[in-house]
A = this chain, B = another copy of it.
Amino acid sequence: MPYVNIRITREGATREQKAQLIAGVTDLLYEVLDKPPAVTFVVIDEVPLEDWGVGGLPVDEYRQSLAAAPKS
């Protein structure tokens, strides 16, 4: 009876895409560990960009800093 929590930045994932994530993770747990789909819970959390940090910056600023960096 697995519980899977998928956390992504909120950037317009559609209902259909979320359904694909739910189906895909549930299938994976069945294939790899033989977990019956009826007891697999998948919960998706969409997180506003300003609430997700990486590289010490909110993710939108982080992406700008990468885009602005000189290419090696």
Interface size class of A (residues with CB under 8 A): 35 or more
Write out the residue numbers on chain B whose beta carbons fall within 8 Å of the beta carbon of A2.
Answer: 6-8
A46 and B51 in contact, given A4-B6, A17-B32, A33-B8 (Cβ under 8 angstroms):
yes
Q: Give which listed residue, B1, B13, B32, B46, contacts A41 with CB less than 8 A.
A: B1
Interface residues of A in 15-49 (CB under 8 A from B): 15, 17-29, 31-33, 35, 37-47
The answer to whether the Cβ of A64 comes within 8 Å of any Cβ in the partner chain is: no
Write out the residue numbers on chain B whose beta carbons fall within 8 Å of the beta carbon of A44.
Answer: 51-53
The answer to whether the Cβ of A56 comes within 8 Å of any Cβ in the partner chain is: yes
CB of B25 within 8 A of CB of A40, answer no
